[in-house]
Amino acid sequence: MPEPLSEFDLIRRYFTRPVHKAALGVGDDCALIEGRPGHQLAVSTDMLVSGRHFFPDVPPRSLGHKALAVNLSDLAAMGAEPRAFTLALALPSAEAPWLAELAAGMLELADLHGCELIGGDTTRGPLTLSITVFGDVPPRQALRRDAARPGDDIWISGTLGDARLALGDFRGEWLLPEPDFTAVRPRMDTPTPRVALGMALRGVAHAALDVSDGLVGDLGHILARSAVGAWLDVDALPRSEILARQPEECQRLCTLTGGDDYELCFTAPADARETLAGIATRLALPLTRVGAITPEAGLRLVDREGNPCRFDGAAFDHFASP
Amino acid sequence: MPEPLSEFDLIRRYFTRPVHKAALGVGDDCALIEGRPGHQLAVSTDMLVSGRHFFPDVPPRSLGHKALAVNLSDLAAMGAEPRAFTLALALPSAEAPWLAELAAGMLELADLHGCELIGGDTTRGPLTLSITVFGDVPPRQALRRDAARPGDDIWISGTLGDARLALGDFRGEWLLPEPDFTAVRPRMDTPTPRVALGMALRGVAHAALDVSDGLVGDLGHILARSAVGAWLDVDALPRSEILARQPEECQRLCTLTGGDDYELCFTAPADARETLAGIATRLALPLTRVGAITPEAGLRLVDREGNPCRFDGAAFDHFASP
């Protein structure tokens, strides 16, 4: 009988098969196929649906930015350099000013990363954007999810949870003072893909991904695919001053399960700490050590005292959640 | 003020810009970027929306086939060899049997063409499929829309109009006898991408595209981009025996404006006629000469006597049509 399946179950069950020609198939941030001489081509696709991934009345400029940003973030998570993208767009109607803003938001970010729009499709339908993005990465230097090793440090770029904090205000879960909301809202509306960081991590980090569905669930993908476990210091998770002023429960919810920050979570051997400090300085982007990979399976959350920390949150799942 | 724009206007106005890194950008069946050694990578993306491109109750196996077929058809129209694809899927709910059939229809066609599913995205939303497909083509051998030359013959593969004939029955525009409907329906539901033909036309044909929106409109893209005109013998357009039994008006509507047949329309110099006859025999696929490219702009429709033929149809436009 038909029964609800989780998003990940669905994909695994029906659409995941071993690849023969491609170097890497379904299951990582990007697929890898043979690219131009001296490169692999990293490919990723994302679909954003109105009412699901963004509010129907979101400013079109933000929407254009975000739709491309989440795809560039997948390239960043592989250590790939953006090269080109395609856009498929379903629109309920075609209003010129709205489209002009959408294009401006998208193409401005594209230009910033030298990522060319090379093709697309437009049709009438419920507002939906699907982008496929292409990037270059030197052979065997892609940052894959299956490459974490016991003893690796776990790192997070920037800060986690502000996008979730803004979303909670939007949803009425809590009410932030106006200046705080204004400060965190861009983390939800116009996220910054960590492209330069991803490229800098080639040959330094082992495993990596971008935090788009929540750290606990996303880190779980690295653990599962690398067949390792981890401990995570929930009090060490980097957060903004605004989030640090919220009740502890809210802070944990936002840092552990908040999606949409598009920071990178990566693992690296302990002897890379100095190199990583240099990268953080060069990019003016904080990198915070938040835990370590263990040989035993499972994710163990601890607080700053090292005591076990209970938390019931799980990664946001588009199908399992109500 | 906002006003309705045609699909093609929209794309041109806001999203088409010159490309610098890519060999070919927006506006052809595929974009071309530098590929693996000795190849260009042809890239195309299509989005299919429920209620627009297919009936909501279409058998999922047909839908899976068609969603990939229309993309493979774009590769065929460039002369590219299928290599890989990504799938982004929005689903109102996740029912296992439906998904199993969708996957079977899609992956069976993929296997037939050695085209690997390398990545994707699944989310909840109005039923929408967006596929991006990748193929290999030797440098400078891609069949572009801008390569038609005055004096070229215009050719059509297979037969035109059966998909439109089946659609008209579905829509209640006309009623076919049951055996006829059963015979033409697969042309609408499970079109055959002309992949082998596209590859065989490398170095033989000048310009090419796949007929997806109707011959008059699609041929118009070749004429516009090649800065040429053409005449077309409307009575020479190849059609099935079933279509040939319909009233003449219906035959003209279906052959001239019917979309979804996914036959190739291509131009080739007169000295390629013998070669093309050999290709038709080898592939067991009729190729029919239906007109010629002229230096003067405009498309002139003539009947078998050479008399001007009036026809008011226009290519199907997703935004301009009601």
Contact B124 A52 (CB under 8 A): yes
Query: Percent of chain A scored above 90 by pLDDT?
Result: 68
Contact A283, A152 (CB under 8 A): no
Q: Is 60 exceeded by the pLDDT of residue B317?
A: no
Q: How many residues does chain A have?
A: 322
Do B33 and A118 lie within an 8 Å CB cutoff? yes
Q: Determine the Cα–Cα distance for residues A203 and A141; give it in Å rounded to an integer.
A: 6
Task: Report pLDDT for B255.
Answer: 95
Between B73 and B17, the more confident residue is B73
**What three-state secondary structure class fits B166?**
helix
Give the pLDDT mean for B309-322. Answer: 50
Q: What is the pLDDT of residue B132?
A: 95
- Report the pLDDT value the prediction gives residue A1, as an integer from 0 to 100: 42
pLDDT tens-digit profile of B242-272? 999 999 989 999 999 998 899 999 999 999 9
CA separation (Å) from A277 to A167, A235, A273? 32, 20, 6
Q: Are residues B91 and B158 in the same domain?
A: no
In 3D space, the residue among B122, B34, B105 whose CA is nearest the CA of residue B70 turns out to be B105
Of the spans A255-264, B28-37, B136-145, B283-292, which averages the highest pLDDT? B283-292
pLDDT band at A315 (very low <50, low <70, confident <90, very high): very low
Beta-carbon contacts of residue B124 (< 8 Å; ≥ 6 apart): A49, A52, A318, A319, B90, B91, B92, B93, B94
Confirm or deny that B235 is annotated as ligand binding. no
Of B31, B94, B100, Cβ closest to residue A118: B31
Domain of A29, CATH number, reads 3.30.1330.10
B81-91 and B116-124: which strand pairing? parallel
- How much is the average pLDDT of A230-255? 95
Q: Give a yes or no: residue B313 inside a domain.
A: no
User: Cα separation of A294 and A187, whole Å?
Assistant: 31
CA distance A107 to A84: 11
Q: What pLDDT score was predicted for residue B6? A: 67
Ordered DSSP codes for B275-292: HHHHHHHHHT--EEEEEE
Q: What is the CA radius of gyration of chain B?
A: 19
**Interval A131-137 mean pLDDT:** 94
Are A105 and A214 in a shared domain? no
Q: What is the average pLDDT across B36-55?
A: 88
Residues β-bridged to residue A120:
A87
Place of tokens 């969603």: B67
> To the nearest whole number, what is the mean pLDDT of chain A?
89
Q: CA A183, CA B169: separation in Å to the nearest integer?
A: 57
pLDDT band, residue A318 (cuts 50/70/90): very low
Which structure tokens are listed for A71? 């795809």
Better-scored residue on pLDDT, A39 or A233: A233
Question: Has residue A247 been placed in a domain?
Answer: yes
pLDDT over 60 at B273, yes or no: yes
Q: Which residue in chain A is spatially nearest to B22 when comparing CA positions? A: A118
Count CB-CB contacts under 10 A for residue B267: 29
Structure tokens at A33: 């196929």
* Tokens, residue B78: 């460039």
Residue B17, pLDDT above cutoff 80:
no
Judging contacts by C-beta atoms under 8 Å, the chain A residues touching residue B125 are: 47, 49-52, 126, 128
Output the six-digit token pair for B258: 């019917």
- Asked if A179 and A123 sit in the same domain, the reply is no
Q: Is the pLDDT of residue B316 over 90?
A: no
A128 min Cα distance to partner chain B (Å): 8
CA distance B70 to chain A (A): 12
Q: Is there a single domain that holds both residue A121 and residue A177?
A: no
pLDDT, residue B31, reads: 82
Based on the fold, state whether residues A282 and A163 are members of the same structural domain: yes
pLDDT at residue A226 greater than cutoff 90: yes
Collect all residues with Cβ–Cβ distance below 8 Å to A27 and sequence separation of at least 6: A16, A145, A225
Contact assignment for A34 to B36 by CB distance below 8 Å: yes
Q: Does any domain span residue A253?
A: yes
Residues A97-107 have a mean pLDDT of 91
Residue B63, exposed/middle/buried by CB under 10 A (0-12, 13-18, 19+)?
buried
CB atoms within 10 A of CB B303: 14
Take residue B13 and report the two structure tokens written for it.
Answer: 């106005």
Higher confidence at residue A102 or residue B31? A102
Distance from CA of A47 to the nearest CA of B (A): 6
pLDDT greater than 80 at residue A10 = no
Is B157 in the same domain as B286? yes
Q: What is the mean pLDDT of chain B?
A: 89
Confidence of residue A11 (pLDDT cuts 50, 70, 90): low
Between CA A209 and CA A215 the distance in angstroms is: 10
In a domain, A317, yes or no: no
Alpha carbon distances (Å) from A122 to A186, A281, A311, B8 = 28, 43, 43, 8
pLDDT at position B70 over 80: yes
Two structure tokens written together for A36? 């131009």
**Does the structure show a pLDDT above 60 at A7?**
no
Q: Is the residue at B204 inside a domain?
A: yes
Q: What range does the domain containing B160 cover?
A: 153-302
φ and ψ at residue A146, rounded to 5 degrees: -100, 20
Q: How far apart are the first and last CA of chain B?
A: 20
Length of chain B: 322
pLDDT at position A279 is 97
Average of pLDDT values for A125-138?
93
Closest residue in chain B to residue A51, using alpha carbons only: B125
Beta bridge partners of A294: A229
Ranges of H-type helices in A235-308: 241-244, 248-257, 273-283
A319 has pLDDT over 60:
no
Give the C-alpha separation, B208 to B113, whole Å.
20
More confident residue, A322 or A185: A185
For range A72-84, the mean pLDDT = 95
CB-closest option in A10, A30, A36 to B36 = A36
Q: How many CB atoms lie within 10 A of CB A64?
A: 27
- CATH label of the domain that carries residue A218: 3.90.650.10
- Going by the annotation, the residues of the binding site of A for Mg(2+) are 29, 44-46, 74, 121, 210, 213
Same-domain status, B193 and B258: yes
Question: Pairing relation of β-strands A298-302 and A229-233?
Answer: parallel
My answer on whether B191 and B123 are in the same domain is no
Closest residue in chain B to residue A126, using alpha carbons only: B126
Whether A14 and B121 lie within 8 Å, measured CB to CB: no
- Residue A309, in any domain of the structure: no
User: In this predicted model, what pLDDT tens digit does every residue of B173-186 receive, in sequence order?
Assistant: 999 999 999 999 99
B160 & B262 share domain: yes
A5-14: b or e for each residue (b if 16 or more CB lie within 10 Å)?
bbbbebbeeb
Judge if B82 and B197 occupy the same domain: no
Who has greater pLDDT, A231 or B309?
A231
Distance CA B192, CA B109 (A): 9
Whether residue A59 has pLDDT greater than 60: yes
Is the residue at B62 inside a domain? yes
pLDDT at B104 over 90: yes
Q: What is the pLDDT of residue A28?
A: 73
Structural domain total, chain A: 2
Determine the 3-state secondary structure of B145 from DSSP.
Answer: coil
Could you tell me the pLDDT band of residue B29, with boundaries at 50, 70 and 90? confident
- pLDDT score of A157 more than 60: yes
Specify the pLDDT at position B94. 67
Task: Tell if the CB–CB gap between B118 and A22 is shorter than 8 Å.
Answer: yes
Distance from CA of A271 to the nearest CA of B (A): 33
Specify the pLDDT at position B195: 97
Task: Answer yes or no: do B122 and B165 share one domain.
Answer: no
Structure tokens at A308: 């076990």
CA dist., res. A234 & res. A256, Å (int):
8
Minimal-distance CA residue of chain B relative to A3: B95
Q: Which residue of B has its CA nearest to A84?
A: B22
Top-confidence residue, B238 or A28:
B238
B18 domain-assigned: yes
- Name residue B207's amino acid: A
Query: Distance between CA atoms of B22 and A117, rounded to whole angstroms?
Result: 9
Pair (A203, A129) in one structural domain: no
Three-state secondary structure readout of A192-227? CCCHHHHHHCCCCCCCEEECCCCHHHHHHHHHHHHC
